[in-house]
């Protein structure tokens, strides 16, 4: 059972890490690409919408999209670092 919990925490840690990378890339590229028909921004908006929609649902209406992305990034980084601390507190589990 301990191995299963450890693997689940590693999965959560990895997904939060990837989500933080995609949100950071979306934030950086949104500053440099100004074309509204950009396929790159479309791709990142499709990828990051599942990450920003829960944040947008909690926040009041009228918050700019850029700020919603920053808040979602902060939450993902917080989850990522929190899982890292939990994993280091658990120590290693022999998965072999």
What domain count does the chain have?
A: 1
pTM listed for this prediction: 0.86
Per-residue pLDDT, averaged over 61-84, amounts to 93
**What are 51-72's pLDDT values in tens digits?**
999 999 998 888 998 899 999 9
In contact, 48 and 72? CB cutoff 8 Å? yes
Q: Is residue 32 part of a domain?
A: yes
d(CA 21, CA 2): 29
Q: Which of 49, 61, 55, 58 is nearest to 23 (CA)?
A: 49
Q: Is residue 24 part of a domain?
A: yes
Q: Supply the range of the domain harboring residue 57.
A: 2-90
**What are 20-34's pLDDT values in tens digits?**
999 999 999 999 998
């Amino acid at each position: 059972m301990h191995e299963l919990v450890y693997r689940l925490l590693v999965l959560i840690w990895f997904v939060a890490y990837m989500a933080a990378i995609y949100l950071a890339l979306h934030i950086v590229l949104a500053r440099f690409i100004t074309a509204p028909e950009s396929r790159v921004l479309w791709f990142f908006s499709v990828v990051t919408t599942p990450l920003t929609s829960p944040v947008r649902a909690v926040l009041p209406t009228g918050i700019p999209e850029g700020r919603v992305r920053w808040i979602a990034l902060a939450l993902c980084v917080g989850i990522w670092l929190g899982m890292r601390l939990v994993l280091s507190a658990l120590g290693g589990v022999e998965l072999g």
